[in-house]
Structure 1
Amino acid sequence: MKVCLHLADGFEEIEAISVVDILRRADIEVEMVSIMGRKEVVGAHQIRVMADVLFGYVDYSQVDMIILPGGGQGTKNMDEHSALNKQITQFAADGKWVAAICAAPTILGKLGLLEGKSATCYPGCEPQLKGADITSPASVILDGKIITSRGPGTSFAFGLKIVEMLKGLELANLLKEQMIIG
């Protein structure tokens, strides 16, 4: 099981790092992928993170899930990255997992991937979830192979939902207990 979490300048640090941490605790192989053309990526709160790999070096045929953390500028940078958008669209077409949190579900909306699906996002971004059912108040929503979540405060629930889908509810519950998540 291999997951790629994508980083762009302006990404929301909590949504990226907490999810990577949770997935690695579950023994899921996670690569942090920079779309910036350099490994150092600067988050929305000026926290510098070193990605594991640059986008152009990823073999997506070996990847099971694409994860998109939010953050206003980070989402804008990912949205403008045509090769990433092509991969996201291909993953959805192939029935592979796609997960996005905060503002990042807007990318899925613009790509038409939420049409007829339940989804959520950061409050105020809902109009950009083209064709999605946004009536659920849930902090994390699973619809088919797409997982969406609301924002920084829902990062743990988002990470645990990914673990549940990739490795099972039992492990997700164990991690929740071990990490003392209420």
Structure 2
Amino acid sequence: MKRILLLLPEGFEFLEASVFIDVFGWNLVDGDGTTKLFTCGMTKEVTSAFDQKLIVDYLIEEINMDDFDALAIPGGFEQCGYYIDSFKEPILNLIREFHSKDKWIASVCVAAIVLGRSGILKGKKATTYNMNPERQAMLSKFDVNVVQEPIVVDGKIITSWNPSTAMDVALTLLEFLTSLQNAAYIREIMGFKKI
């Protein structure tokens, strides 16, 4: 069983988190049955960008790296504390640990900035929110080669540029953790077309 950890910083965007829950849930029930998703945060109750509360499965300090195969991170809103929480050392260290163990890391939208802050994108190609040049400028300050594409894969790191790409990021991660055929099947039965 492949275990995916969904990291939820305060102020995360619910849409960007929910795609991972759905894709890996659909795969567990109707796909090849080899994936299960778990959530974690700095606190047991995490508040999303638009003030919904979610109870996570694990606190960050409870995570055993050997129990997980991939890390997924949604973006969020600065006004809702996203960067304050996601720039904390426990979150950055978790990202560094996943990277050092050569595990897949998938991010949506401005979560790439968190990856940049952790240092794992130095010298790599990546993208982030493309509707405001300030976000891409933030990412480039971490010595990242910012690419103008919806989804960028460099090594085992997936980045994307806005919420519209979230479903494709989740399906791309599913493809890398299972197979192209399985991910295509889940995409088809969920009714999504590839961008």
Q: Say whether the fold is shared (TM-score over 0.5).
A: yes
Any stretches of 5+ residues in structure 1 without a counterpart? Answer: none
Contact 1:7 1:74 in 2 (8 A): no
- Using the alignment, how far apart are the partners of 2:4 and 2:48 within structure 1? 20
Query: What stretches of structure 1 move > 3 A for 4+ residues in a row?
Result: none
The residue that corresponds to 1:60 in the other structure is: 65
Equivalent pairs counted in the alignment come to 178
Secondary structure of the 1:26 match is helix
Instruction: Report the CA distance shift for 1:9/1:169 in structure 2 as closer, same or farther (over 3 A).
Output: same
Instruction: Check if 1:3 corresponds to 2:4.
Output: yes
Instruction: Check if 1:117 corresponds to 2:118.
Output: no
The residue that corresponds to 1:13 in the other structure is: 14
- Using the alignment, how far apart are the partners of 1:74 and 1:14 within structure 2? 15
What's the CA shift for 1:116? 2.2
Instruction: Check if 1:134 corresponds to 2:146.
Output: yes
The residue that corresponds to 2:169 in the other structure is: 158
The amino acid across from 1:33 in the alignment is: C
The residue that corresponds to 2:185 in the other structure is: 174
Secondary structure of the 1:95 match is coil
What's the CA shift for 1:35? 1.4
Contact 1:11 1:75 in 2 (8 A): no
1:12-45 per-residue CA deviation (whole Å, 9 max, x = no partner) reads 0000012111112122111111212x2x221111
TM-score (norm 2): 0.85
- Using the alignment, how far apart are the partners of 1:17 and 1:162 within structure 2? 14
The amino acid across from 1:79 in the alignment is: F
Q: How do 1:26-37 and structure 2 match up within 5 A? A: 26-27=27-28, 28-36=35-43
In structure 1, which of residues 75, 78, 81 is the aligned counterpart of residue 86 of structure 2? 78
Contact 2:93 2:118 in 1 (8 A): no
Any stretches of 5+ residues in structure 2 without a counterpart? Answer: 29-34
Identity of aligned residues (%): 28
What's the CA shift for 1:96? 1.5
